A and B are shown apart, each in its own frame.
Chain A
Amino acid sequence: MQTTSDEALIGRIAAGDKLAMQVLFARHHVRVYRFVLRLVGDPSRAEDLISEVFLDVWRQADRFEARSQVSTWLLAIARYKALSALRRRPDEELDEETAQAIEDPGDDPEVAMQKKDTSEVLRECLTKLSAEHREIVDLVYYHEKSVEEVAKIVGVPENTVKTRMFYARKRLGELLKAAGVERGWP
């Protein structure tokens, strides 16, 4: 149902209907924003980027061939924009890598367990995944994208999507273990 109505919106946008553009924006901008924010880590920059994403939709609506869901198309554009923006500022990429390498001072298992429950620790560990792993976890769990759709957004084969998700989960398990949460896997 969502696909059909979004496609109808794209048709109207291609014909120059600005209100349809506003409706499409209202429907998807929060999820696109969160996806971009998780990639670039800067709310103000994420806001600028989502405006650019939807401007691309305005410009390219007549070329949308409905081979994927509109939301998948949006996320693919958003990903391209976010990665391009990161490439323009290599310093921040470095910062992110550095941040990932730094051990959390609160990682002492006993202290962590005293202070937080497992779900809080799990949420913290999710933020510590690499950008690649974070992206796939978000696409699968939060954006509800199928294997095929994730492959289209990320631009990798479907088997790679499954493997990457497996390793993202494995890494998550390792981070949890380091934080004192033993899940029995990996």
Chain B
Amino acid sequence: MTMIKNKMSEREEIEALLPWHAAGTLSRRDAQKVEQALASDTDLATQYSLIRDELVETIGLNESLGAPSARAMQKLMADIEADASTARRTPSSFNLGEWLSEKLSSFSPRTLAWSASAAALAIVLQAGLLAGMFVNERQGGATFDTASVQSNQTVKPGTEALISFAPQASVAEITKLLQTYKMAIVEGPTGEMYTVRFAMTGMPKEELGRVLKQLQDEKTVRFVYPKSGD
């Protein structure tokens, strides 16, 4: 009797773990136990099949919720600037290569499968090439090939912004956007963000606000924020 009871509780314990097994968040030991039970218990296997359906639809439901607007980041950065703790801290240096390496290693297989992250990763690589092209060709001072700014004109350190491109944006679309707004990628990606520098130096805050708002409405752009200090 005790043996039957133990057997029951062990089965219940395994049944309780099925959702985590489906999500891939069990320890190797527990996962093996569940796998063995699934191989020999058809009822449990049926239950597991239902759980997999639930998992798929839960992910689909959450993915359909959309994303917050740029306002959330803008509010955060404004709050950070105003926060009393900010002034007490000394910013540390930033290693671009390390950031890129960390970002690329952070994509989980399911994230890649379930969102537009695969496309985002592709664009990170594409835009990385763009960034290299822009920066490398213009070492010693960024220049712009646009109608209003001569190609040999050196751009002094000026107004910069942080930008994240839409996952579906093509290299051609990003290139066109950069030309239209007379800006160049000067750093990135850090996470999904690039630093872009505008050709116009000393841009007034109102003008910058107007341009950023315009950029935010572009379908090629996912987010754009003023860079701290601008």
Contacts and interface: CB of A to CB of B under 8 A. Distances in A.
Interface in A12-62: 12, 14-27, 29-30, 33-34, 37-38, 43, 46-48, 50-51, 54-55, 58-59
B91 to A, nearest CB: 5
Interface residues of A, number: 63
Interface residues of B, number: 63
Contacts of A50: 68, 72, 76
Contacts, number: 171
A123 interface: yes
Contacts of B92: 12, 15-17
A27 B106 contact: yes
B73 interface: yes
Given A17-B94, A184-B46, A185-B47, A140 B19 contact: yes
Given A26-B192, A38-B65, A17 B83 contact: no
A15 B89 contact: yes
Between A16, A123, A141, the greatest number of chain B beta carbons within 10 A of the residue's beta carbon is seen for A141
A165 B191 CA distance: 33
Contact of B80 (A18, A126, A147, A183): A18
Contacts of B76: 21, 25, 50-51, 54-55
Given A17-B91, A29-B73, A165-B16, A59 B25 contact: no
Interface string B74-103: 011101100101101111101000110011
Contacts of A166: 15-16
A92 B55 CA distance: 28
A51 B72 contact: yes
B225 interface: yes
Contact of A123 (B26, B61, B193): B61
Given A26-B164, A59-B83, A141-B55, A127 B61 contact: yes
Q: Is the interface of B mostly helix, strand, loop or mixed?
A: helix
Contacts of B77: 18, 21-22
B40 to A, nearest CB: 19
B1 interface: no
Interface string B38-57: 00000000110011011111
Interface in A136-186: 137-138, 140-142, 144-147, 149, 162-163, 165-166, 169, 172-173, 183-185
B151 interface: no
A8 interface: yes
A141 B54 contact: yes
A47 B54 CA distance: 27
Contacts of B89: 14-16
B59 A142 contact: yes
A33 B61 contact: no
Contact of B79 (A34, A55, A119): A55
A123 B72 contact: no
Interface string B207-225: 0000000000000000101
A140 B55 CA distance: 9
Contacts of B8: none
Interface of A: 1-2, 4-6, 8, 12, 14-27, 29-30, 33-34, 37-38, 43, 46-48, 50-51, 54-55, 58-59, 118-119, 122-123, 126-127, 137-138, 140-142, 144-147, 149, 162-163, 165-166, 169, 172-173, 183-185
25 contacts: A5-B103, A14-B89, A16-B90, A16-B91, A18-B80, A22-B162, A22-B191, A23-B193, A24-B191, A26-B192, A26-B223, A33-B72, A34-B65, A51-B73, A51-B79, A59-B85, A122-B57, A137-B58, A142-B62, A144-B23, A146-B20, A163-B16, A169-B19, A169-B51, A172-B54
